[in-house]
Amino acid sequence: MENQNLNLLDRALGLDGPSEPWPLSGRVVLIEDCVETSGSFVLHQLVKRSLSPTSSNVIIFVAFANPFSHYDRILRKLGCNLVTQRDNKRFIFFDMLMLRCPDVDEGKSSEGGLVLLYEKILKTICGLPGDKKDYVTIMIDDISLVEVAANGGSDYVLDFLHYCHALTSEFDCSLITLNHEDIYSSMERPTLILQMEYLADILIKAEPLSTGLATDVHGQLTVLNKGTSHRLGRSGNKIHNFHYKVKENTVEYFYPGSRV
């Protein structure tokens, strides 16, 4: 990692340290975005970092929003070949675009589909060779569509997330999820998003600037990194805020006003 070009996001996430052990292992990351600013670029960046040659991570990517070809094209421009990684068993893709949990009146409950999904993930992790088992990253894109797939049963979605969270302590894997914060901002009791924010160790929020959208600055990122068991022994919340601009090959991060 040291010889790579680290940007502000990497530093905020703690990826500027040594790559072994993986700084995000055992941690839960939540990416929040809204209609105006999509947060999927953060997900792509994390995929790229996880699949870097220096680390030995395995990614289990549970996709509800886009098919494999979409991510493949994007990551290729970022410099990461997902097809090769998939063949090397470092990138495992679960295409959940057509997942629809059976209706309640069919006898089975909505949680049936999610339970099966969890079992599939567990089986995949257990099926990995010994050395790779310690470096698994589970990515879910995105949670609001998991809710739709569960026909609105957010309790089932929460159960599913809690089970995945249990995996982080059992197997030391990291859990990275994406959700849309503006869906819940108008609800009276936004249980799902509040619980997710509580569970998360790192909270990354992508929102537009208060003055609206602009061509030079696509938005601002706020990264809340809760208590790390630092190598220095310290732990404490750290909030980082910076602006970003998304390009085809890279994403530029810069402090507000420092862009020339």
Partner 1 sequence: MRGSLFESPAWCRVQCQRHCSQTPHKKEVPCVFGRPPQLPITKIIRLSAALLACHRRRSTPTAALSLPPRVCSLPPESLSCRLSTIYSWVRKTKLCSVDAAMATTKPRLSSFSRNLSAVSSSQTPGVKCGPNGTMFVSSGIADLDRYFEILGGGFPLGSLVMVMEDAEAPHHMLLLRNFMSQGLVHGQPLLYASPSKDPRGFLGTLPSPASLKHDKSRDRESEQEKGLRIAWQYKKYMGENQPNFDSHRVTHHYSGADNKQDYCNEFDFRKPLERHYFTRQRVNCVGIQHSKNLAALQEHCASFLAQHQRNDGSSALAGRIAIQSLCAPQCEHSNMDWEMLSFIKSLKGMVRSSNAVVVITFPPSLLSLSSTKRWQHMADTLLSVAAIPDEDKELAKLLSGYQDMVGLLNVQKVARLNTQVPLILEATTFSIKLQKRRFLVLECLNQAPVDGSSGSSYGTSGVFLQLSLTQKCYIEQLRMVSKEMDRAVYMKFGGGEKGRESGNNGKRSETREVSFQMSFTPIFWSVSVNGE
- Does residue 44 touch partner 1 according to CB under 8 A? yes
Nearest to 62 by CA among 52, 51, 47: 47
Among 3, 53, 98, 231, binds partner 1 (CB under 8 A): 98
Which one, 26 or 153, has the nearer CB to partner 1?
Answer: 153
CB of 127 to partner 1, least distance (A): 27
Which one, 22 or 41, has the nearer CB to partner 1?
Answer: 41
Residue count, binding to partner 1 (CB under 8 A): 39
Here the tokens at position 92 are 């495992």
Calculate helix-pair angle for 111-126, 154-171, nearest 10 degrees: 10
Residue type, 230: H
- Does residue 210 touch partner 1 according to CB under 8 A? yes
- Does residue 83 touch partner 1 according to CB under 8 A? no
Which one, 212 or 236, has the nearer CB to partner 1?
Answer: 212
Q: CA 204 to CA 224: how far, in whole Å? A: 6
CA atoms within 13 A on the CB side of 75: 25
CB of 12 to partner 1, least distance (A): 19
Which of the stretches 23-31, 114-122, 144-152, 227-235 binds partner 1 when contact is defined by CB under 8 A?
Answer: 144-152
Which one, 78 or 122, has the nearer CB to partner 1?
Answer: 78
- Does residue 106 touch partner 1 according to CB under 8 A? no
CB of 128 to partner 1, least distance (A): 28
Which of the stretches 64-72, 85-93, 131-139, 230-238 binds partner 1 when contact is defined by CB under 8 A?
Answer: 64-72
Contact 63, 96 (CB under 8 A): yes
* Residue 62, burial from CB neighbour count under 10 angstroms (0-12, 13-18, 19+): buried
Among 41, 93, 118, 135, binds partner 1 (CB under 8 A): 41
Sign of CA dihedral 234, 239, 241, 244: positive
CB of 94 to partner 1, least distance (A): 14
CB of 170 to partner 1, least distance (A): 31
Which one, 160 or 184, has the nearer CB to partner 1?
Answer: 184
Q: CA 47 to CA 50: how far, in whole Å? A: 5
- Binding residues (CB under 8 A) for partner 1: these are 35, 37-38, 40-41, 44, 66-67, 69-70, 73-74, 77, 97-98, 100, 144-145, 148-149, 151-152, 180, 182-184, 186-187, 210-215, 218, 246-248, 251
